[in-house]
């Protein structure tokens, strides 16, 4: 009892610069003097993905290139700042596979700013000449665009706010344009804007969105932004959300408490369009591929990995599978995903020099990783923003070639079945999506009429564009699967499809 009072909760110390030296042998720690690191990159959206991906590449480089430290900013919630500030920006990346969990402590994030409460500090830093790159992982919805067309959504509340208050912006486009406007006014060369989100043609798409926002503010600003470099990227690493059990396990491995360790897989890939007029770190020395045209890589990854992921997420969740590795334990699902990639996605890809069959097999292995614990529910989020680039682009190509797309069509039908918000046992699904309210209203109107549900959802032009909703072949394929999902359930529908 006395001991409990003397040592409440835990006797573990918190990970920080002063406790770093206590990390057990075998735990990799920064191999550079962090006090010498200066910021060269501002990263907007300092979430788990960035910390498992780009921040690790930069960590590999800082020893010899100390002027490329990262200042991270969170646009929505201050939770990352709250977790990392007491840790001097240090955190653990824990790589998990069947062989165990391998922790490494990352030091490349030298500061985290909360955009809401530290907006001026953040904008001043973004406007300063030492920042050469502003990178982003703000998720699909963070760009405030229409996912079907890739154009700025001028009616988005944050965009309307930022147009009315351009010097105190909330949105990512608003922040970028205000910082670029300040550079323009001060005669400072623009930074390169590097989106690391899973958008199709992310460089060109984000440039179109940001340039439009700038032009709405002022024509001259639009022209200035039109001259800014927006290198495209293909980013890949699977990063499940961290749980309390993960925190406990990591504490045991590193001998200190880390409020927000990042859990991930061994695989990592980063393909970057080499277009940085104001300079860049030698990312290639850390394993990134610098290429002239990144779009074929992006398309491959979005259609193969993310298309499979979303299909497994909706069907898998409805079938009662909590994790992707559980879905992969079901042979029918494996056959479905194997077929989706091989028969339907691969023929739409033109990737000279890449063995797509080997890429597919590697993806299947990654999905099987039993230690990763990647929730189907996590991937199911924001489907309205994800479907166009993951499933619908592939379907459009198949339609244009007069080819079938049964498995992709089932993926779309599963999304429609999922967003009604009730699972096969009649329990509520926590549907997270910017269009969730509208989709629930469509579902309520449709009642138990699958055809009406299809019609209502297919009329969402932000998702299906102005073409797919009216396409008869698309309608017949998806509506038939949707009907099956209601009539015979997910397991049976998948079984029937893979048997035919």
Residue ranges that bind ligand CS2, judged by CB under 6 A: 198, 236-238, 305-306, 309, 378-379, 386
Q: What's the token pair of residue 75?
A: 């646009």
Place of tokens 């080499």: 274
Nearer residue to ligand CS2 within complex by CB, 170 or 309: 309
Q: Measured from the CB of residue 308, what is the shortest distance to ligand CS2 in angstroms?
A: 9
Nearer residue to ligand CS2 within complex by CB, 130 or 243: 243
Q: Measured from the CB of residue 145, what is the shortest distance to ligand CS2 in angstroms?
A: 17
Nearer residue to ligand CS2 within complex by CB, 110 or 196: 196
Nearer residue to ligand CS2 within complex by CB, 80 or 389: 389
Q: Measured from the CB of residue 307, what is the shortest distance to ligand CS2 in angstroms?
A: 9
Q: Rounded distance, CA 187 to CA 417, Å?
A: 53
Nearer residue to ligand CS2 within complex by CB, 88 or 298: 298
Q: Measured from the CB of residue 386, what is the shortest distance to ligand CS2 in angstroms?
A: 6
Q: Measured from the CB of residue 141, what is the shortest distance to ligand CS2 in angstroms?
A: 12
Nearer residue to ligand CS2 within complex by CB, 145 or 309: 309
**End-to-end Cα, the chain, rounded Å:** 66
Nearer residue to ligand CS2 within complex by CB, 136 or 159: 136
Q: Measured from the CB of residue 463, what is the shortest distance to ligand CS2 in angstroms?
A: 15
Q: Please, what's the b/e burial string for 457-470 (b: 16 or more CB within 10 A of its CB; e: otherwise)? A: bbebebbbbeebbe
In contact, 280 and 132? CB cutoff 8 Å = yes
Q: Measured from the CB of residue 238, what is the shortest distance to ligand CS2 in angstroms?
A: 4
3-state helix, strand, coil in the chain (%, to 5): 50, 15, 35
DSSP string, 167-185: TS--SHHHHHHHHHHHHHH
Q: Exposed/middle/buried for 269, CB within 10 Å: 0-12, 13-18, 19+?
A: middle
Q: 444 by DSSP, 3-state: which? A: helix
Q: Measured from the CB of residue 445, what is the shortest distance to ligand CS2 in angstroms?
A: 28
Nearer residue to ligand CS2 within complex by CB, 268 or 348: 268
Q: Measured from the CB of residue 313, what is the shortest distance to ligand CS2 in angstroms?
A: 7
In contact, 134 and 41? CB cutoff 8 Å = yes
93: β partners: 104, 262
Nearer residue to ligand CS2 within complex by CB, 111 or 374: 374
Which runs of consecutive H residues, i.e. helices, occur in 69-201?
A: 79-84, 119-127, 157-164, 172-186
Q: Rounded distance, CA 387 to CA 140, Å?
A: 11
Q: Pairing relation of β-strands 69-74 and 145-146?
A: unpaired
Q: Measured from the CB of residue 301, what is the shortest distance to ligand CS2 in angstroms?
A: 7
Q: How far is CA 8 from CA 1, 19, 214, in A?
A: 10, 20, 54
Starting at the earlier edge strand, list the strands of the sheet with 269-273: 233-236, 269-273, 289-291
Q: Measured from the CB of residue 13, what is the shortest distance to ligand CS2 in angstroms?
A: 33
Q: Measured from the CB of residue 177, what is the shortest distance to ligand CS2 in angstroms?
A: 27
Nearest residue to the partner ligand CS2, using Cβ: 309
In contact, 157 and 169? CB cutoff 8 Å = no
In contact, 387 and 443? CB cutoff 8 Å = no
Nearer residue to ligand CS2 within complex by CB, 118 or 306: 306
Nearer residue to ligand CS2 within complex by CB, 209 or 305: 305
Q: How far is CA 10 from CA 14, 50, 252, 255, 258, in A?
A: 10, 30, 12, 12, 13
Residues contacting 17, CB < 8 A, separation 6+: 34, 88, 90
Nearer residue to ligand CS2 within complex by CB, 198 or 233: 198
Q: 69 by DSSP, 3-state: which? A: strand
Nearer residue to ligand CS2 within complex by CB, 46 or 214: 46
Q: Measured from the CB of residue 139, what is the shortest distance to ligand CS2 in angstroms?
A: 9
Of 314, 303, 380, nearest to 343 by C-alpha is 303
């Amino acid at each position: 009892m006395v001991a409990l009072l003397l040592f409440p909760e835990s006797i573990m110390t918190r990970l920080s610069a002063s406790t770093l030296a206590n990390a057990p042998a075998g735990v990799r720690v920064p191999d550079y003097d962090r006090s010498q690191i200066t910021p060269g990159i501002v990263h907007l959206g300092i979430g788990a993905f960035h910390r498992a991906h780009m921040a690790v590449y930069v960590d590999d480089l800082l020893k010899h290139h100390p002027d490329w430290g990262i200042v991270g900013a969170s646009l929505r919630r201050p939770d990352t700042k709250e977790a990392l500030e007491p840790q001097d920006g240090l955190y653990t990346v824990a790589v998990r596979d069947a062989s165990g969990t391998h922790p490494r402590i990352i030091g490349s994030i030298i500061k985290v700013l909360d955009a809401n409460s530290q907006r001026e500090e953040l904008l001043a830093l973004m406007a300063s000449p030492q920042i050469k790159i502003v990178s982003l992982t703000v998720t699909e919805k963070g760009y405030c665009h229409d996912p079907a067309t890739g154009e700025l959504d001028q009616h988005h509340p944050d965009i309307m706010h930022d147009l009315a208050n351009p010097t105190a912006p909330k949105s990512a486009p608003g922040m970028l344009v205000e910082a670029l406007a300040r550079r323009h006014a001060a005669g400072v060369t623009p930074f390169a804007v590097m989106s690391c989100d899973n958008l199709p043609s992310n460089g060109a798409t984000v440039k179109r969105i940001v340039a439009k926002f700038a032009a709405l503010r002022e024509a001259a600003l639009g022209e200035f932004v039109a001259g800014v470099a927006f290198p495209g990227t293909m980013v890949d690493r699977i990063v499940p959300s961290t749980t309390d059990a993960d925190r406990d396990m990591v504490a045991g491995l590193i001998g200190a408490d880390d409020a927000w360790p990042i859990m991930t897989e061994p695989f990592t890939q980063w393909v970057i369009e080499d277009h940085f007029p104001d300079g860049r770190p030698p990312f290639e020395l850390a394993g990134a591929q610098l290429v002239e045209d990144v779009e074929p890589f992006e398309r491959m990854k979005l259609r193969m990995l993310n298309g499979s992921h979303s299909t497994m997420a909706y069907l898998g969740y409805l079938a009662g599978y909590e994790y992707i590795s559980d879905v992969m334990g079901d042979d029918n699902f494996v056959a479905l995903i194997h077929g989706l990639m091989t028969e339907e996605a691969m023929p739409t890809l033109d990737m000279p020099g890449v063995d797509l069959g080997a890429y597919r097999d590697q993806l299947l292995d990654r999905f099987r990783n039993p230690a990763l614990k990647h929730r189907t529910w996590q991937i199911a989020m924001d489907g309205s923003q994800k479907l166009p680039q993951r499933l619908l682009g592939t379907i459009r190509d198949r339609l244009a070639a007069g080819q079938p797309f049964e498995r992709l069509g089932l993926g779309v039908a599963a999304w429609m079945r999922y967003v009604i918000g009730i699972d096969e046992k009649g329990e509520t699904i926590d549907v997270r999506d910017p269009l969730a309210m509208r989709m629930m209203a469509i579902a309520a109107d449709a009642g138990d009429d699958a055809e009406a549900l299809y019609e209502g959802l297919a009329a969402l032009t932000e998702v299906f564009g102005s073409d797919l909703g009216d396409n008869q072949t698309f309608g017949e394929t998806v509506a038939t699967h949707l009907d099956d999902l209601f009539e015979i359930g997910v397991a049976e529908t998948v079984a029937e499809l893979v048997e035919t």
